[in-house]
C-alpha cells in the first residue's frame, strides 16, 4: 500500500506510542521512514527504532525550534528529495492544564500558550517546514482526540485538540491547491505514556468500552495505525480536511449500547 513512499513520523517515544505502531505498519506496507525526536527523549526514540524493521534513522526536531525545522528540511531534501507523508503525533500540556478542580480556571496564559503552541500550532509549523518537499498526492495525518464534546479532566488539552481540528481544516484549504491532503485520525483512549498523564484515564477507558458498539481495547493501537497508513496511501486521493474516527463507534452513540435480541 505504501511501496516507495517516504514518510516522516513524529511522536515515537516508547513502543506503546501510537506513532510507533504507525511506524511498524508503514514499514510493513512498504514505506521508507524516518523518526524525529529531541532532548532526553531522543535515546528513547532510538531504542524503539532499533526494534523496528530496518532500524530507521532518528532526526532531531524540537517542534518549537526554527533551527531544527531548517535542518530537518535540508537533511530530507538531500536524502530523499521529497516527502510523501508526515505524521503529526505531538501534544503536551503543563500540569495545571489538565484535571484540576478549578477546571479551565486553574491555568494561566503562560501554561495555556505552551499547550497550544506544542499541541496545535505545531501542526502548522510542521506543514510549513515539509510542504515544500511534498509532491501532489502526498498527505499529512495528525492524531486527534475527538473535540466535539467535553471530556472529564481533559480541560485545556481538549481546547487544544479543538483548535487542532480547525487548524487541519484550514491547512487542507491552503495546501489543497498543491495536491497535499491534510486529515486527522481521532482515536479512542489508548494506554500510551501521554494517556497515563491524564487524570481519570482509567475511568474513561472503562466507560469507553461500555459505549463502543464494536468494543474497544485500550492496549491495541493497531487499528489507529492502519487508518493512518490508509490515509498516507493512494486510496484516499480526494479526501482532505476529514476526521476519521477509530474509536469503536463511540462518537456515533449518545448512551451505552444495549444489545438487542437478534432473530434467529
Catalytic residue among 6, 96, 154, 226: 154
Residue whose C-alpha cell reads 495528525 in the numeric block? 142
Where does 80-151 have alpha helices with state H? 109-116, 122-130
| Distance separating alpha carbons of residues 143 and 82, to the nearest angstrom | 22
Catalytic residue among 6, 96, 161, 226: 161
The whole-number pLDDT of residue 259 equals: 56
Q: Per this entry, what is the length of the chain? A: 264
Is 154 among the residues known to form the active site? yes
| Distance separating alpha carbons of residues 78 and 170, to the nearest angstrom | 29
Confidence class of residue 127 from pLDDT cuts 50, 70 and 90? very high
Give residue-wise pLDDT tens across range 151-174.
888 999 999 999 999 999 999 999
| Distance separating alpha carbons of residues 35 and 42, to the nearest angstrom | 10
Cα 205 versus chain centre, distance = 19
Global pTM value: 0.93
Walk across the sheet containing 85-88 and list its strands: 58-60, 32-37, 6-9, 85-88, 139-144, 181-187, 243-246
The domains found in the chain, sorted by start residue, are 6-250 (3.40.50.720)
Give residue-wise pLDDT tens across range 100-115.
999 999 999 999 999 9
Give the residue-averaged pLDDT of 129-150: 96
Give the residue-averaged pLDDT of 233-246: 98
Confidence class of residue 116 from pLDDT cuts 50, 70 and 90? very high
Amino acid at each position: 500500500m505504501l511501496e516507495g513512499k517516504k514518510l516522516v513520523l513524529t511522536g515515537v517515544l516508547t513502543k506503546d506510542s501510537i506513532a510507533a505502531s504507525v511506524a511498524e505498519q508503514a514499514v510493513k506496507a512498504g514505506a521508507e521512514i524516518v523518526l524525529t525526536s529531541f532532548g532526553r527523549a531522543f535515546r528513547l526514540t532510538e531504542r524503539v527504532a532499533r526494534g523496528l524493521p530496518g532500524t530507521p534513522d532518528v532526526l532531531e526536531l524540537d517542534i518549537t525550534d526554527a533551527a531544527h525545522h531548517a535542518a530537518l528540511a535540508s537533511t530530507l531534501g538531500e536524502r530523499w528529495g521529497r516527502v510523501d507523508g508526515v505524521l503529526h503525533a505531538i501534544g503536551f500540556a503543563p500540569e495545571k492544564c489538565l484535571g484540576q478542580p478549578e477546571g479551565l480556571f486553574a491555568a494561566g496564559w503562560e501554561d495555556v500558550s505552551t499547550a497550544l503552541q506544542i499541541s496545535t500550532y505545531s501542526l502548522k509549523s510542521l506543514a510549513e517546514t515539509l510542504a515544500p518537499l511534498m509532491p501532489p498526492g502526498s498527505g499529512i495525518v495528525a492524531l486527534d482526540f475527538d473535540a466535539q464534546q467535553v471530556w472529564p479532566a481533559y480541560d485545556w488539552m481538549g481546547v487544544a485538540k479543538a483548535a487542532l481540528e480547525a487548524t487541519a481544516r484550514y491547512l487542507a484549504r491552503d495546501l489543497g491547491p498543491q495536491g497535499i491532503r491534510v486529515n486527522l485520525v481521532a482515536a479512542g483512549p489508548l494506554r500510551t505514556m501521554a494517556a497515563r498523564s491524564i487524570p481519570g484515564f482509567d475511568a474513561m477507558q472503562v466507560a469507553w468500552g461500555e459505549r463502543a458498539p464494536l468494543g474497544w481495547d485500550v492496549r491495541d493501537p493497531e487499528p489507529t495505525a492502519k487508518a493512518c497508513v490508509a490515509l498516507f496511501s493512494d486510496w484516499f486521493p480526494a479526501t482532505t480536511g476529514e476526521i476519521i474516527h477509530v474509536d469503536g463507534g463511540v462518537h456515533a452513540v449518545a448512551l451505552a449500547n444495549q444489545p438487542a435480541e437478534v432473530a434467529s
